Chains A and B, each alone.
Chain A
């Protein structure tokens, strides 16, 4: 038993010694159809070949950690001959042709279907990627691209790109959402709050043809509102929180004040990132990571955490595998991860593969050396300056693509590229992605500019459509339904009743008053966790929005929500008891931006009957905020 094999460090193969050649009788035929490495081969190799060999082992001199090592063969010669499964030694031993050498050595033997899958894989040229079949041919460009905006009747470039796309995919555009729905979406997406009844009525009454654009401008000008909404997005991805593992002994530092100010000032994103990569004491918490007490795996040193977090958040590069060994799910190697980690280390790091020191020092380098070099002789701060320049370089298209994709995903519920952590995957509209990215750079890396561009598009104003998971590749038919975040839900509830938390964990800088206290400024509690606020020990690019039973239990009988409703109802009833009809209308308008139907009014009245008291108001509030219509955008 190898005790030192690190997490997810898998996928070595059993030793295969000796060489065989030529077709032998009794071989199962190759399986028909196209082989998908991710689903047909990878699990099989993992399940049946990895048990004797952790990531670092290559018994018999043979390893299948990468396509290269696979093709290199074993001590005694080639094991796989590309395109010729019948002649490949691998197939002979797994098929049991040679009774002296049968792999895997432990029962059970591979089934004929499994052997057939391996044969088909070899015959089809050993495709080696875990992407969906459709994306195999895709090579992500590194340099920025400036596709021309297609001609068309629409004003917004996003729509100009999407019109021909929709035509090509026979997507019929439904009529855009109503003013009220738009107001709800825009308010929540930009400042994270429901429109007040007054704001909603003014907006609906406005007859200006460009009132939607004006609303967006107004909301984006609300610097505090914008910062208080978007800070949760950044807290998740920069794994910043008020409390958590590491704080107990100073092994972790928050960056909240810096982050809030950066958003409040709409700090241009290139500077935002440069300052995070080469920080001052105000924001060093991000690259300094979490310093754990005791010894940690080599893949979890602060320098490696920094390499992984910087590349993941800003460049859509997932180095989790490569921080331990050459990845077999993406292109990144151990040397790439160490090359980047060296930037954050005073002395060059010795490469450690699956917690086994390799005896070689890593070169200091950027993920894409063609963009420039980092001087290994410089002190850490100097190397970080150089790294920041390379990341934010005009020639690094990955930097801007990653950001605009994250914004698109946040506003539309799904990225132009998915999954968000891997920007090497094929976008469903490369031109749109690339145009948004260069447009973002051309406008001074202004986050609000790109936000404005997207929310002013007709694409954003379409009714939500849930993508059919069976439709591969994905086709954009409208924004995905999105659930209110934990913070948005709690703020919405607070605004409905006018009851906000009393004390905050964080005081707003430069704010004349600290009220109202919005949910992001509190420590996580059982309710906010149940509603999806993540534990920020690892970074998170996307929250889990799936309703769950445990969450429903927290909503149904949890003490936190019950007490919020209790306080809220008391506040509503503090002045003279409202007439039930007025109360119902006001809550519907504020919560759902519409009046209740007669049927809904009857149900709501029955909740408040026989007379308006705190129990009735609590129950009405509960029923409304738990409605899917309330919880989804």
Chain B
């Protein structure tokens, strides 16, 4: 590990956080924290690799019988459009196109039975809100993103590094307002909100002076500011408290911008061959950035393939060809991230989770036994290659891949049906329990709660999430 923080630094930060929470007056306060048993964490950092738009399990980590395309093929005959491949673990098969990940499966745990919420109507934004906050929208309070919960509960790992870093999602796309609604700390307050790196290929923009400003000018501006603040009539305008909290916030910001941690954002410092290995596109570079940030002590990072309606994993047609590309996008960089963290001795304390809001199927929309509004036209007989792929939204099984942070190595959890509907048969995993497992790995009780308007808000829904102990070594 190449980061070390002195206890003194930690206390300084913790003290500041407590002070600012007190000062906020009506800031959320923890309830019943004393009653919650301490949990020994197995991870310091969580990385969420978000497969936005619905990643079909039968096309990725849970392959079923393969049927090649031919004109006139009945849609309901097709379970997988890719051939299965072997992985480093005998009894676990992946889909073709994930060869690099297949090689590192012996480092991880695969859940095949994530079952999504039943919202009566498939909506990516609502399911994504649910996955990221633990609560099905709408809610009467602004629910915090899990990254914000972790930032609030654990604080930064390296005091110079924002505790919640969100990589790759731009908000100029369709449904952007719905996306913004959960990319937030909600009622916990903006202190715990996401530090956005929308463009990982230009991640340094987030930590360098504004465009056109030299570092020297940036420093001088801040120095002059502090001199003016000191020279100003503090007492006359009220207590010194405002002065202090504003100055402290600015100090924190400038400390980040000038700290060694900021160099983590500079991908140009990577050797070319490493950069190229990761560079399958924006997502791949996001993974490289995540690795660099973990090396500098990041607490929570999300890297997304980016949600944009009908793009990326959101395949309403041409599912097969699109997935060739999506798998190419994730396969090498995610595998490399695992290997690099392992090589640096950081994988043991970094939990990586690769997940999606739901899966897809060629025939079933939603859950098999429920009738929900059909959102995709799927002809019963395929006449063109664009019909070949998983185009409907399926919520009754989905794959979640975990590495590091104390999870078992080479472990497979759950079983899905081999015939349509390829639904969960054994060991269903619901979101609260998945979140409880992630939180537990970080040492956070699923019953941790924060007060809002005199009511407790639990970090897993109603505090009922139960960690899945089988996932951990």
Contacts and interface: CB of A to CB of B under 8 A. Distances in A.
Interface string A546-570: 1111111101111101100010000
B447 interface: yes
Interface stretch (B30-38, B50-58, B75-83, B402-410): B30-38
Contact of A549 (B27, B35, B162, B207): B162
A550 B430 contact: no
B372 to A, nearest CB: 8
A1 interface: yes
Given A1-B464, A54-B462, A562 B210 contact: yes
Interface in B79-135: 119-123, 125-126, 135
A556 B232 contact: no
A46 B456 contact: yes
Contacts of B241: 466, 481
A619 B250 CA distance: 15
A530 interface: yes
Interface in B181-238: 181, 184, 189-191, 193-196, 206-213, 217-218, 220-222, 224-225, 227-229, 231-234, 236-238
Contacts of B68: none
Contact of B190 (A2, A308, A421, A550): A550
Contacts of B238: 463-466, 481, 632
A547 B246 contact: yes
Nearest to B189: A544
A386 interface: no
Given A535-B184, A546-B191, A623 B228 contact: yes
Interface in B150-201: 162, 174-175, 177-178, 180-181, 184, 189-191, 193-196
B464 A5 contact: yes
Contact of B31 (A7, A46, A556, A622): A46
A175 to B, nearest CB: 11
A559 B210 contact: yes
Contact of A294 (B24, B123, B162, B454): B123
B193 A537 contact: no
A66 to B, nearest CB: 15
Interface string B446-462: 01010001111110011
Contact of A544 (B190, B194, B453): B190
Interface stretch (B39-47, B137-145, B289-297): B137-145
Contact of B27 (A6, A546, A557): A546
Given A546-B245, A549-B249, A623 B225 contact: yes
Interface stretch (A81-89, A242-250, A434-442): A242-250
A337 to B, nearest CB: 11
B237 A557 contact: no
A550 B195 contact: yes
Contact of A292 (B135, B138, B466): B138
A222 interface: no
A51 B463 contact: yes
A597 interface: yes
Contacts of A43: 31-32, 35, 456
A557 B229 contact: no
Given A51-B463, A469-B25, A544-B190, A552 B253 contact: yes
- For B175, B189, B218, B253, the residue with the greatest tally of chain A CB atoms inside 10 Å of its CB is B253
A47 B35 contact: yes
Contacts of A464: 237-239
A623 B137 contact: no
B376 interface: no
A323 interface: yes
A108 B190 contact: no
Interface in B281-335: none
B461 A5 contact: yes
Contacts of A329: 453-455
B453 A419 contact: yes
A1 B433 contact: yes
B456 A8 contact: yes
B412 interface: no
A553 B196 CA distance: 11
B341 interface: no
B150 to A, nearest CB: 15
B73 interface: no
B460 to A, nearest CB: 11
A294 B189 contact: no
A599 interface: yes
Interface residues of A, number: 98
Contacts of A367: none
B263 interface: no
Contact of A627 (B121, B122, B222, B232): B232
A237 interface: no
- For A9, A542, A551, the residue with the greatest tally of chain B CB atoms inside 10 Å of its CB is A551
B239 A465 contact: yes
Interface residues of B, number: 98
A557 B242 contact: no
A542 B453 CA distance: 12
Contacts of A46: 31-32, 449, 456, 463
A553 B253 contact: yes
Interface string A610-627: 000001000100111011
A559 B233 CA distance: 30
Given A546-B20, A553-B253, A628 B247 contact: yes
B361 to A, nearest CB: 18
A436 B254 CA distance: 46
A196 to B, nearest CB: 20
A9 B119 contact: no
B244 to A, nearest CB: 9
Interface stretch (A147-155, A295-303, A512-520): A295-303
Interface stretch (A23-31, A200-208, A278-286, A601-609): A601-609
Given A7-B462, A604-B228, A297 B136 contact: yes
Contacts of A604: 224, 228
A47 B32 contact: yes
Given A466-B239, A550-B190, A300 B253 contact: no
Contacts of B455: 8, 320-321, 329
Nearest to A2: B464
Given A544-B189, A600-B228, A556 B253 contact: yes
A385 interface: no
A561 B250 CA distance: 15
Given A248-B178, A294-B126, A550-B162, A626 B250 contact: yes
Nearest to A526: B196
A102 interface: no
Contacts of A1: 430, 432-433, 464, 466
A129 to B, nearest CB: 10
Contacts of B354: none
A627 B462 contact: no
A438 B169 CA distance: 52
B257 A631 contact: no
A361 interface: no
A9 B250 contact: no
18 contacts: A1-B433, A7-B462, A8-B456, A46-B463, A320-B453, A329-B454, A422-B453, A469-B23, A481-B242, A535-B184, A537-B181, A538-B140, A542-B26, A550-B190, A555-B253, A562-B211, A626-B250, A628-B242
Given A8-B456, A530-B190, A552-B246, 10 more contacts: A299-B140, A323-B140, A329-B454, A546-B23, A546-B24, A546-B191, A547-B249, A607-B224, A624-B228, A627-B229
In the A-B complex, the 9 residue pairs with the smallest Cβ-Cβ separation, listed nearest first, are: A294-B121, A295-B120, A43-B32, A562-B210, A552-B253, A464-B238, A47-B35, A547-B249, A552-B249
Interface of A: 1-3, 5-10, 38, 42-44, 46-48, 50-51, 54, 108, 114, 130, 181, 243-245, 247-248, 290, 292-297, 299-300, 308, 318, 320-321, 323, 329-330, 418-419, 421-422, 463-467, 469, 481, 483, 526, 530, 532, 535, 537-538, 542, 544, 546-553, 555-559, 561-562, 566, 597, 599-600, 603-604, 606-607, 615, 619, 622-624, 626-629, 631-632
